[in-house]
Amino acid sequence: MTTVASPAAQAGGRGTRVSPLRKRADSIGDRLLLGICLLAAAIAAGTIFLVGYQIVHGAVPAISKFGLGFVTSTEWQPNFGVFGAGVLLFGTAVTSAFALFLGAPIAISIGLFLTLLAPKGVRGVVGPLVELLAAIPSVILGFWGLLVLAPFVQSKIEPFLHSTLGFIPIFGSPQTTGLSLFTASLILTIMVIPIIASISRDLFQSVPRELQDGAAALGATRWEVVRGVVLPTTSSGVIAACILGLGRALGEAIAVSQVVGAGFEIKGSLFETGNTLASQIALQFPGALTELHKASLYYCGVILLVIGLASNLIAQWIGRRFSYAGAVAR
């Protein structure tokens, strides 16, 4: 421990008094370090407000022109200066909801597999691999979706779903390209799985061992332990994890814009093209010419920001309630 033997320590060890100069330097140093740390914290807090302010500020022309009607209007015609986010909002809601519908059960199962089923060696390999899924850049996932997944979806999955579940209107007849809300949802599913899986694994690990053993001693099978003990004690945390995953899916721009097909109508079938708020910004912002067009895209950003922050806060709130309840239970 060479670090401990600093000059101050040596001075103290020799029994000499610390000089007033050193004392003053230390008190200044203490305040300085605290001040810098506080400054860093303030920068992080300021970032949120600055981002929010700038984006709302950029959206002002569109907000004052279209008002709240922007949210429901389905017209988006840059050449005529008419903008509405209805189609985008629909696409965002459908793709994210479908991604969560597919991804959450898979991710929660992975969490259960990692905590309850997998032997230690397997756990150490599978856990990090699932998290690596989150490390693949969205642009590469989208590119893969465009060239590998979409053709497969178009030639195999869409005809299959249409012939077996075609009586449900969302599984309409297959389209020519495979670029669709459905393909976008699949890509988003791949993105939300690692998020929900790693949070729910941590949650399941926190369930007290005695409770599970108690249930098993009463004769519960493994599934009944999960149903009766593990899931009920962690349910609010799992819901919070799902909302975090939803927030990720809502805000994804690049991968979605590569596979969603940039449609501009609301259609009943998932196999039709569509668009989302985030992907519309990515697709049109670089080429936006008029101020109103830009402002409308900022308006989309405002909606996205509000939904994103709200989902995050709700997840935090549920998570906090959960940890409180957990502390009481223990």
**Which of 55, 71, 157, 266 is the binder for other proteins (CB under 8 A)?**
55
Q: Closest approach of Cβ 270 to other proteins, in Å?
A: 20
Name which of 272, 244, 297 is nearest 91 in CA terms. 272
Q: Which stretch binds other proteins (CB under 8 A): 68-76, 87-95, 140-148, 167-175?
A: 140-148
Q: Which stretch binds other proteins (CB under 8 A): 70-78, 79-87, 146-154, 230-238?
A: 146-154
Name which of 271, 256, 275, 257 is nearest 175 in CA terms. 271
Based on CB atoms, which residue is closest to other proteins, 166 or 324? 324
Based on CB atoms, which residue is closest to other proteins, 58 or 84? 58
Based on CB atoms, which residue is closest to other proteins, 8 or 168? 8
Give the Cα separation of 126 and 193 in Å (integer): 13
Based on CB atoms, which residue is closest to other proteins, 233 or 276? 276
Q: Which residues contact 319 (CB under 8 A, 6 or more apart)?
A: 236, 237, 240
Phi, psi of 269 (to 5 degrees): -90, 140
x/- contact string, 154-193, with other proteins (CB under 8 A)? ------------------------------------x--x
**Which of 20, 68, 119, 135 is the binder for other proteins (CB under 8 A)?**
135
Based on CB atoms, which residue is closest to other proteins, 268 or 286? 286
Q: Closest approach of Cβ 309 to other proteins, in Å?
A: 6
User: Does 144 engage in binding with other proteins (CB under 8 A)?
Assistant: yes
- Helix runs in 67-157, H state only: 69-72, 86-112, 120-132, 138-144, 150-152
93-132 positions binding other proteins, by CB under 8 A: 105-107, 109-110, 112-114, 116-118, 126, 128-130, 132
CA dihedral (27, 33, 35, 41) positive or negative: negative
Give the Cα separation of 165 and 173 in Å (integer): 11
Q: Closest approach of Cβ 67 to other proteins, in Å?
A: 21
Phi, psi of 77 (to 5 degrees): -130, 90
Give the Cα separation of 179 and 53 in Å (integer): 35
267-306 positions binding other proteins, by CB under 8 A: 278, 281-282, 285-286, 297-298, 301, 304-305
CA angle 289, 47, 320 (to 5 degrees): 120
Q: Closest approach of Cβ 168 to other proteins, in Å?
A: 23
User: Does 312 engage in binding with other proteins (CB under 8 A)?
Assistant: yes
User: Does 61 engage in binding with other proteins (CB under 8 A)?
Assistant: no
Based on CB atoms, which residue is closest to other proteins, 9 or 168? 9
Q: Which residues contact 26 (CB under 8 A, 6 or more apart)?
A: 8
Based on CB atoms, which residue is closest to other proteins, 166 or 227? 227
214-273 positions binding other proteins, by CB under 8 A: 221-224, 226, 244, 247, 250-254, 258
**Per rule CB under 8 A, count of chain residues that contact other proteins:** 95
Q: Closest approach of Cβ 318 to other proteins, in Å?
A: 13
Distances (CA, A) of 47 to 50, 53, 60, 217, 244: 5, 10, 20, 52, 20
CA dihedral (263, 264, 266, 267) positive or negative: negative
Give the Cα separation of 56 and 69 in Å (integer): 17
